[in-house]
Chains A and B, each alone.
Chain A
């Protein structure tokens, strides 16, 4: 529901479960499946969108670097025709002053943010379990064929504090069957390290080490698995513009439950309950409680 929204207001949801579960992985899969049906839901386009977004922001300066052109380039505001321009940060020795050039969507991958790694287009074969995605959600829009062959970092799964292998083991317990074929949840998520050789459409944030497997700055939705992951994701600079879904369970010590409650209470200063969104959701099974907040 959030993955395709153009709303700039950040949303935070907490899903409270009555037991341990693989719900975070399932939610991430649902969000990833949603993006398969969206035009331009891939890393290249997301990278260009990020450049556009920063060009529209008036505060501070943003610098980029090019694969072949030397030096830093300052990002300028979009012109009336909607083109994004950059200007060389240092005076060139030539007669014409600093170089000024436009960034086109088709070549945006040649540009990277100063201080960040170049945009990674995960190379590999297309999604191996393509047919599963078609049958995953009844009534869902069909996946766009080109998306099945391109990487995307719009959805991030933040693993459990206990570590990546623990997170993966939990998700491994969920299997999907289509006719005579079976696919495990980690494979369908296509996290890069769990499905080497194929393109990746979900990034993984290792909560234990604080590292994301590929940093693009384009995460639209991050799904946090567990209370520890939720609390770290909320504070992480990497996700300060991302929507967050925290999936926690309640069979925990009081201190840990209160840490989540305190965080939700703190967020209430800047966020309001998003009951409209909650009312659109189908009824959850008994014992699953959900809280949704939207930036004021």
Chain B
């Protein structure tokens, strides 16, 4: 317990009622941009083409970010439209209505570059005020959004302690006066924040900067006991046979409007784009997932109730090696256990990690750079029916890091290598090889992923059971490495029943609010790709 309960309860007692100062921004040009993109997304999703879905997902991710992060209005906005190609191409492919929306969006994205993002101006304004008042304040934002806040104050840098990024950060924060939050109050997805902001405040005033039309989640501030009954006074009376709730906190809201609210660009007021996207995502066949971030660029999405093999470095903990549930018993500063178990003996060639991947990735990068559309078409014709193929190919192009980024399915990898036209050279050595080139390359990927690929290898549970016994014997070494490193590996002694090693990833954060396809779950994936599955 970083903060004593007495301190929190005293703070709550002395600061009621709490205040939300909502600063709502109106911008006709930005409204036009929003509405145009929304219109494009709606129409793109009506089609069956996987490529159209992929473009729609990309646009959705961009707009969601603009609505929840104080980004700079610069060329990046226009660039984000580039995934669709040029205007004529858009019309030829998707028709005149999408072309019309596309033109409006491009024009708005170009026009808006001439002004500063009003959300950034609001952040600057409130921070300057708070600094002058020598107020104790914090900013709540996603870890990856922090850079946009920092870029507003290049000459008066924001220190790391001013930021809160997770439920855990918030839980450990000492009470303070003011919290700054950009975007609506949502419990999941883009711009999400802990319900505790309203149900267990550690601050007296919330300054919330939102674009017009972006509503807070109705039940944000959810308390399982009072079921979101904040704002009804100290005792919220309910109809007969309903539970009396005592002690619920009350909030007062103070709404200020900024910008030109008289003209909302295209017809009508701004709608709630984030709520609209949330509804869209519910209609697709995706699974709920929790993101476990393991380094600056990568994370792993786990479906609900996943039992994840982990190591808890806390001293004197019972069962430091064991299964834990992300977000429940698996928390920050623990380590994910990633087995790198021995692969089958594949014959004459045994290479170190990265030998095959360097070859096929180089070929893929070249092909994707010069003939991207042709490559995507051939991959689809070959049988890769991924909805987000363009994003996937971009990811596969990445150089090997802690893992080799590659297709998740063996069949897809075989198709990819076939399309790239890579095979053994016609030499004596190659004729002696027992398997095709792609199979060797696949075994390299599988080894890097820690998959047990030996024919007839035991089930994962049995492997884990054996692995846990071995790791418990290696605990002193694991503890030593965990003190100084975020990612490290330990080798398994050759006399043990399992061969190979184990990689440990330190958990940087655990975050809910994703809907992702099955293929992307339980694999190390770059955060840019993960972002598109945020709801």
Contact = CB atoms under 8 A, between A and B. Distances in A.
How many chain A residues sit at the interface, stated as a range, is 35 or more
| Among A170, A208, A255: residue with most chain B CB under 10 A | A255
Interface string A239-261: 00000000011111111111011
Contacts of A125: none
16 contacts: A18-B201, A21-B5, A163-B319, A173-B1, A250-B199, A253-B510, A254-B222, A254-B512, A260-B224, A283-B246, A287-B9, A287-B13, A288-B9, A289-B223, A289-B248, A293-B243
A159 B245 CA distance: 26
A232 to B, nearest CB: 12
Nearest to A263: B224
List of 5 A-B pairs having minimum Cβ-Cβ separation, nearest first: A18-B200, A261-B224, A260-B224, A21-B5, A254-B187
Contacts of B170: 251
Contacts of A261: 222, 224, 227
B171 A20 contact: yes
B200 A19 contact: yes
Secondary structure at chain B's binding surface: helix, strand, loop or mixed?
Answer: loop
Interface stretch (B79-87, B114-122, B188-196, B405-413): B188-196
B224 A286 contact: no
A251 B222 CA distance: 10
Interface of B: 1, 3, 5, 8-9, 12-13, 16, 167, 170-171, 187-188, 194-196, 199-201, 222-227, 234, 241-249, 290, 304, 316-319, 327-329, 510, 512
Interface of A: 14-23, 161-166, 170, 173, 208, 228, 248-258, 260-261, 264, 272-273, 275, 278-279, 281, 283-293
B318 A164 contact: yes
A165 B247 contact: no
Q: Would you call the interface of chain A mostly helix, strand, loop, or mixed?
A: mixed
Contact of B243 (A166, A260, A291): A291
Contacts of B223: 16, 250, 257, 289
B195 A273 contact: no
Centre residue among B167, B201, B249, B318 by max chain A CB count within 10 A: B318
A277 to B, nearest CB: 10
Given A162-B329, A163-B319, A289-B245, A248 B12 contact: no
B512 A255 contact: yes
B80 to A, nearest CB: 29
A285 B12 CA distance: 9
B188 A254 contact: yes
A14 B224 contact: yes
Contacts of A275: 243-244
